[in-house]
Structure 1
Amino acid sequence: MNPQKLQIRFVLAVCLLACTLGCALAAPALGAAGPDDDAVRARAVMADLLRIPSPAGVQETYRTPIRGVDHWISIRGQDRANPVVLFVHGGPASPSMPSLWQWQRPLEEYFTMVHYDQRGAGKTYREDHSDALADSLRIQTYVDDLVAIAEHLRARLGQEKLVLMAHSWGTIPAMHAALARPDLFRVYVGIGQVIDVRENERISLAFGLAEAKRRGDAQALREMEALLPYPGDAPLTRERIVAARKWPQHYGGMAAFRDETNPWYYGAARLSPDYDDEDRAAINAGSLFTLGRLLDEYVKVDFSDVRRFPIPVVMLMGRHDYTTPSQPTADWLQRVDAPYKRGVWFERSAHMVPWEEPGKMLVTMLEVVRPLVRE
C-alpha cells in the first residue's frame, strides 16, 4: 500500500475529528451551558465518531479478573481477523486508554488494538488500591499480569500469538515477558524503550546542560550543575530524577520542539468516552500510589547484557527523546541477535512517538510490523 496515500488518509481522519469536535463545542446549547456541558457534548461526539459499526469489528471496554485483581481492558478493531496488538502503557500508572483517541483510529483498520490499565493505574486503580495490592507492586508482578492478559486475549480473540507493543515504563515488563514467554508473541515493538535507566539519566542531563549553555540559560545551568555528578553514586531518588528531567523536558526531550509538558496528552482524558470524572482523578492517584513503590527496582533496570532476543524486534525511536534517550536502544539493536531486528527513527518526535508522528507510525506498522505477523 502506498505510504503517501496512507498519510493523506490519516490527515483527513484527523481533520474530520477536529472539525467534528469543533462543531460540537460551537453548537448552540439547548439550555444554559458551562464548560462541563461543553465537555459532555464533546465526549458524546467523540463516542459516536469512535463507534465501530462494522459487523466484523470488535469494540469492548470491560473489567475482568487477572491474577486476583480486576483489570480494565479495551479492545477495538474493524475486523476481528486482523492481527492483535497488545499495548503496554507507560508511567508507571499512565494509562493509554484515555488518550488512544488521539492516534489509534487509523490503526484499527489493520489491527485489533488492545489496551489495559495496569494494576494501580487508572480504572484498575479504582477497583483495588488496598495495602495488600500496594505490597504486590514489583516489576515481576507486572510481567506476570502481562503474560496472563496475553493468555486471556488468545482465548477471547481466538489468535495464537499477539504483537506485543510497549511504551516507556511499559517496555520493562514487556521485554521481560517477551524473553520469558516468546511462544505468546509474534513480534515485539518498543517505543521510548528503556535499556539502561542510569545511562538514560546521564544522557538526559547532559543534553539539558548542553542546551542550556547553547541558549545562555543561566538559571537552568545553575539548577542542573547543582545535581552533578549525575547520576553519580548517590541514590536515584524521585526528587533527583524530577529535578534532572525538568530542563531536558522543557527543551523538547518529552515532546519534540515543545517547551510544555504535554497538556494535550494530560488533558486527553477529558474527551475520552471511556473515562469519567472518577477515572480521571484516579490517573494522578494511581501515579502517586505506584511510583514510590517501584522506584528502587526501576532505577536498577538494565537490559544491556541481553544479547539474544527470541522473537522479531522493532524499535520506534524518537530522534529527540531525552526522557528515555534513543541512542542506547540503537546501540543495543546493533549488537543483539534476533530472528529479525529493525530500528525506525522518528525525526520529528521525542518520547511520545504515537502522539507526535501518528502518520509515520501507521505506515511503519503496515510496512514493517504487519509483514512479520504473516511470516
Structure 2
Amino acid sequence: MKKLLLLAAALLSPAFATPAARAQAPSPVDDLARARAVVEDLMRIPNPEGVQETYTARIGGIDQWISIRGQDRANPVVLFVHGGPATPTIPSLWQFQRPLEEYFTMVNYDQRGAGKTFREDHSDAVAGTIRIQTYVDDLVAIAEHVRAKLGQDKLVLMAHSWGTIPAMHAALARPDLFHAYVGIGQAINVRDNERISIEYGLAEAKRRGNDAAVREIEAILPYPGDAPITRERIVAARKWPQHYGGMAAFRDETNLWFFGAARLSPDYDAQDRAALNEGSLFTLGRLLDEYVQVDFKPVREFPIPVLMFMGRHDYTTPSGPTAEWLDRVQAPYKRGVWFERSAHMAPWEEPGKLLVSLLEYVRPLAVDGDAPR
C-alpha cells in the first residue's frame, strides 16, 4: 500500500506531467485567477433541479444585485439580510454557505449603497434615500420578488448584525411573508450595545495588563454618554473589544479571513471589491443618527416564530440584551441558540452549528409548519 501511495504521488507530480500540462502551469501572475476558478468550480451547482443565479432586479427604484443558490428549488427559502451597513455577504458565501444549499435555497442581496448595488447607482438621488425605512421597504419588496420567482408562499427571514434592524421591522410589518425570523448578532438597543462593548474592552485590557489600551479607552469615556455617537467615536470604541475577541472569538484580527474573502469570490471583480469600502463610507454617515436610536426593547409581542442565534463571546452586538429580550417576548414559538465558540461572526466561526441549528429548529417551521420540540 505504501508503494502504491508513493507511485500515485509521483505520477501526480509536475515532473511527470505532459509537456502540454507543464506549459499550462501557473505563473505567480495568474495564481489568484486560478484560485478564484477553483472556488467558482467548487461552488457550481450542476444539479438540474437546483438554482444558481446572480442578477439585478428593480427594487425601490434602483437595480439591486441578488444571488439565489440551492440544490433543489423545492427546498425552503432563506432570505439573508447582510450586516454593515454596506458589508455584503455575497463575497464570502464560499466560506460557509455551500452546505446550507443542500437543505435550503439561499437568497442574498447587496443592499442599497452596498457592494455591487452601490456600483449600479450611488447617485445623489440614492444618497437621499439612505434611511432605515427605505431598507425595510427594499427588504419587503425583495421578499415579494423572491417568493413569486421561486413559487413559494413564505420565506425564512435570517439577518446578521446591522441587517437585523431592517429585518426585525420587516417581520413586524409583514409577518404574512415569513415562516420565521432568525437573528444573528441581533441588535436590540444600540446604545446598550455600545456601552456593554466598551466595558468589556476596558475590563479585558485591565485583566491583561495592557496599560496603553486602558489609557486609550478611558480617554473616550464616558461612552456612549451624552455626546453624539460619530463614526470616529464608534471606530475608537470598538478597537479594543474587537481586538480581544468581541468580533471573532479567540481572534484579534478579522480583516484577512473575512474582508479578504472577496479576493477569491467568483461573484466579485476588482471594481466590486473597491466598492465595499466606498459603500460603507457612503451609507454609514447617513444612517448613523437613526442607527444609534434603534431600540426594540419595547417590542413585547412578535407575530411569527423568532429564533436568536447568539455568539457567547459577541461584544460587537452583545448577546446579553438579546437573551433578555427573548425571555420577555411573546411569540408563536421562540428559541435561543448559543454558539459557544463564536463571537459576532457565528455563521463563519461555527458553520456546522449554523447548519445543524437551521435543520433542527428552523426547517420544520418552513416544511411542516410545526414548532420543533
**Given the two structures, how large is their TM-score scaled by the length of structure 2?**
0.92
2: distance between equivalents of 1:68 and 1:336?
35
* Structure 1 counterpart of 2:27: 33
Correspondent of 1:278 among 248, 271, 274 = 271
SS of the residue aligned with 2:193?
helix
SS of the residue aligned with 1:275?
coil
- How far 1:262 sits from its partner (Å)? 3.5
Counterparts of 1:288-327 in structure 2 under 5 Å?
Answer: 288-327=281-320
- How far 1:67 sits from its partner (Å)? 1.6
Assess, with a 3 A threshold, how the Cα gap between structure 1 residues 42 and 90 changes in structure 2: closer, same or farther.
same
Task: Tell me the alpha carbon deviations over residues 292-339 of structure 1, each in whole angstroms, 9 at most, x when there is no partner.
Answer: 000010000000000000000010000000000000000000000000
Task: Tell me the alpha carbon deviations over residues 250-308 of structure 1, each in whole angstroms, 9 at most, x when there is no partner.
Answer: 00000000011331000000111111111111111101110100001000000000000
2: distance between equivalents of 1:324 and 1:209?
16
- How far 1:239 sits from its partner (Å)? 1.1
Task: Tell me the alpha carbon deviations over residues 30-79 of structure 1, each in whole angstroms, 9 at most, x when there is no partner.
Answer: 267235x1111111111111110111100000111112110000000000
* Structure 1 counterpart of 2:64: 71
- How far 1:228 sits from its partner (Å)? 1.3
Runs of 4 or more off by more than 6 Å in structure 1? none
- How far 1:170 sits from its partner (Å)? 0.2
2: distance between equivalents of 1:62 and 1:355?
24
Q: Does structure 2 conserve the Cα–Cα contact (< 8 Å) formed by 1:255 and 1:262? A: no
SS of the residue aligned with 2:140?
helix
Match status 1:199 vs 2:192: yes
* Structure 1 counterpart of 2:148: 155
SS of the residue aligned with 2:233?
helix
In structure 2, list runs of 5 or more residues that go unmatched. 1-20
2: distance between equivalents of 1:293 and 1:196?
19
In structure 1, list runs of 5 or more residues that go unmatched. 1-26
SS of the residue aligned with 1:154?
helix
Q: Does structure 2 conserve the Cα–Cα contact (< 8 Å) formed by 1:312 and 1:338? A: yes
Q: Does structure 2 conserve the Cα–Cα contact (< 8 Å) formed by 1:312 and 1:341? A: yes
- How far 1:28 sits from its partner (Å)? 6.5
Assess, with a 3 A threshold, how the Cα gap between structure 1 residues 359 and 223 changes in structure 2: closer, same or farther.
same
Match status 1:363 vs 2:356: yes
Higher-Rg structure is 2
Match status 1:146 vs 2:142: no
Correspondent of 2:93 among 100, 122, 126 = 100
Correspondent of 1:123 among 116, 121, 124 = 116
Assess, with a 3 A threshold, how the Cα gap between structure 1 residues 128 and 29 changes in structure 2: closer, same or farther.
farther
- How far 1:29 sits from its partner (Å)? 6.8
1: distance between equivalents of 2:364 and 2:23?
49
Matched residue type, 2:27: A
Q: More displaced, 249-258 or 223-232?
A: 223-232
2: distance between equivalents of 1:344 and 1:32?
45
**Given the two structures, how large is their TM-score scaled by the length of structure 1?**
0.91
Matched residue type, 1:358: P
- How far 1:127 sits from its partner (Å)? 0.4
Assess, with a 3 A threshold, how the Cα gap between structure 1 residues 268 and 28 changes in structure 2: closer, same or farther.
farther
Assess, with a 3 A threshold, how the Cα gap between structure 1 residues 233 and 78 changes in structure 2: closer, same or farther.
same
2: distance between equivalents of 1:89 and 1:28?
43
* Structure 2 counterpart of 1:210: 203
2: distance between equivalents of 1:147 and 1:155?
12
RMSD: 1.1
Task: Tell me the alpha carbon deviations over residues 208-253 of structure 1, each in whole angstroms, 9 at most, x when there is no partner.
Answer: 1110110010000001111111111111111111111000000000
Percent identity over paired residues: 79
Q: When the two structures are aligned, how many residues end up with a matched partner? A: 348
* Structure 2 counterpart of 1:262: 255
* Structure 1 counterpart of 2:81: 88
2: distance between equivalents of 1:32 and 1:48?
17
Match status 1:180 vs 2:173: yes
* Structure 1 counterpart of 2:365: 372
